Structure 1
């Protein structure tokens, strides 16, 4: 039986003032899809532009998260204005996980990318040897996908929240639960290492954090830090000793969590109905 591979589609944007160069990279990406689709299927959603202005318009219309960008450094033959480095800065402001690849005819421009702290993953020199260039593109794409997967893992296992203009990152293992307070949009964050407060809503953090589970309209929990579930009294006990009631609509969800995480049964009162 042939089983369909699960896969990921990655946005790729190419900006080069030479249409033939765009076509070469695009065709190489099609090849890369086949080469890199081993365990999971890899697909690229490719878009392109031939000048700085059209590239900015693409960024305005497409809010990518973790896109791959091939940027010609010398856009319009101008190395000092509206070039690939300037475009990279605009991309970095919008797409924090962007994977930027500079493509140029001049190796000596590589230091500028470092000096401007653009964090590019590669600097590919345009070559008359097409096979060498294509091989370098495929290798660079492989690096980009590896880095994006690592970023996805870190994102999933990190709880990120904002207070004012400051952004805080907390190891998801430390989060026990989040619950509403008497103050609108102010939440309590209960952790294994202390307490904190957040601004936002339960629904907001539920959508942003797939590892957390909503047990009621007022409480979002980390299932890894549940100690037991009392099905008869609809009560969840946590590793810090706290207990919270879950809503009747979540009974099935609680039973699924019990099966998945094999919580301790010493304090459970299982309702067999």
Structure 2
């Protein structure tokens, strides 16, 4: 489900935005819902810290707090790299700040008498929904982890293997073009996807990305050239996986 967030400090305008969004979702029977409509930007960040989200965000640029809506958008990107951000503003001249904060925005809606705000909102909903449905159709499943103060998203298809870190309770993710370290347990990761195979007490490998298994060296070569390791206990299962690919 695509989750919708509204951050607007003017209560009347916030209620109007809620109505525009909820009416259109109901009318079009979309797989979406408003999970939070607030004047407080920290409520959105707290929600994202505790939930894995792909969202649609309508953010007032000129919030009556120290953090602007554009700064909020930049912070949202740390937790939801795939979300669609729409800025709603009475000051279109401030949109240059999105480049300063490096925020990729779907749209800018100006609060003036010349803008049909309802129409622009529904167009944003349609676009965000189309992208969401397309990603689901393409089975673009994302593995998300918190590394330091950032939320990192990696497509499951790009994951090579996981290994336990020398740091207690941490795991290293080896992906196609990156590595990331985060707190977690191999047992929990193993249950997340059928592509994952426990090949060693300290390793979990993505079966889809195995090129070959060297039984003598107990090494698993991945599609990007990385090497994962296996124990003799799990070698038979690995040979069966390679033979059946």
Q: Give me the TM-score of the superposition, normalised by structure 2.
A: 0.62
Q: Deviations over 1:69-126 (max 9, x none)?
A: 21111223x8xx5322232233233433332211012332222223332211110112
Q: 1:173 touches 1:224 (CA, 8 Å); kept in 2?
A: no
**In structure 2, what is the equivalent of residue 13 of structure 1?**
5
CA distance in 2, matches of 1:157, 1:134: 32
CA distance in 1, matches of 2:233, 2:155: 25
The alpha-carbon distance between structure 1 residues 245 and 182, as it changes in their structure 2 partners (threshold 3 A), is farther
**In structure 1, what is the equivalent of residue 63 of structure 2?**
75
**In structure 1, what is the equivalent of residue 93 of structure 2?**
108
Q: How does 1:50-69 map to 2 (within 5 A)?
A: 50=39, 54-63=40-49, 64=51, 65-69=53-57
Between Structure 1 and Structure 2, how many residues are aligned? 226
CA distance in 1, matches of 2:209, 2:135: 24
Q: Deviations over 1:15-40 (max 9, x none)?
A: 22222211221112123324554xxx
**In structure 2, what is the equivalent of residue 23 of structure 1?**
15
The alpha-carbon distance between structure 1 residues 184 and 100, as it changes in their structure 2 partners (threshold 3 A), is closer
Cα-Cα RMSD:
5.2
Aligned counterpart for 2:37 among listed residues 27, 48, 55? 48
Q: 1:14 touches 1:47 (CA, 8 Å); kept in 2?
A: yes
Q: Deviations over 1:222-245 (max 9, x none)?
A: 343679xxxxxxxxxx898x9975
Q: Deviations over 1:179-198 (max 9, x none)?
A: 77999879899999xxx998
**In structure 1, what is the equivalent of residue 128 of structure 2?**
144
CA distance in 2, matches of 1:113, 1:191: 30
Alpha-carbon shift at residue 217 of structure 1 (Å): 7.3
Partner of 2:31: helix, strand, or coil? strand
**In structure 2, what is the equivalent of residue 263 of structure 1?**
244
Q: 2:143 touches 2:153 (CA, 8 Å); kept in 1?
A: no
